Chains A and B, each alone.
Chain A
Amino acid sequence: SQQGEEDPQALSIQEGENATMNCSYKTSINNLQWYRQNSGRGLVHLILIRSNEREKHSGRLRVTLDTSKKSSSLLITASRAADTASYFCATDNSGAQKLVFGQGTRLTINP
């Protein structure tokens, strides 16, 4: 499968700082989604950005999408210890609603 790449693979910051994660993909997309996974449990949907959108906000989350560069970024502002998790981008690039997940970024927020 054409899995995307995420960087960094791991990120450790202090509580209160901002965290930025990047995602690159290979094919044209309908939309790109970000998910959070705590400690190997189920994934939680965070935000979806469509291919014709460039930026989207949800609370402390800001997502950008650059389809010309086939890349997206997720910014978490004013990080909290509870934000410690793995974050995955996923692309929806077909009519069958199949998601292709990136490799993920493991985020650690230090108190």
Chain B
Amino acid sequence: SAVISQKPSRDICQRGTSLTIQCQVDSQVTMMFWYRQQPGQSLTLIATANQGSEATYESGFVIDKFPISRPNLTFSTLTVSNMSPEDSSIYLCSVDGTGREQYFGPGTRLTVT
């Protein structure tokens, strides 16, 4: 299994600002995923990030709002841009395992005021 860390673990931000969330994996992985979990809700996939290519966004999520970088096989960032209170959520990154399971980071709890 992979060990994943995320920074920051939580943050409180002003509306209109941006926050970049980092995801670090202890081994090289092909695919990394970014999810959003709104308060009391389930997880929704934002995008899939492969090293060396543009991220693939799910319906309802756009690159201008959630730009993603994937500079190498162990690291990715997600930026939440021009934040509003509706962006208050837990943001989680995950990586694929050998058997199609996913391993998740501890999450970043974002509050936008």
How many of A's residues come within 8 Å of B, CB to CB? 25
Residue of B4, B58, B99 near A1 (CB, 8 A) is B58
Among A43, A44, A88, A102, residue most surrounded by chain B Cβ atoms (within 10 Å): A43
**A48 adjacent to B100 (CB under 8 Å):** yes
Question: A59 interface residue, CB < 8 Å from B?
Answer: no
Dominant secondary structure at the B interface: strand
Closest to B90 in A: A40
Knowing A40-B90, A42-B92, A43-B92, say if A98 contacts B103 (CB, 8 Å). Answer: no
- B11-32: which residues lie under 8 A (CB-CB) from chain A? 31
Residue of A31, A35, A100, A102 near B100 (CB, 8 A) is A31
Please give 7 more A-B residue pairs, beta carbons under 8 A apart, in addition to A33-B101, A97-B31, A101-B42: A44-B104, A45-B102, A48-B99, A88-B42, A98-B33, A99-B45, A102-B42
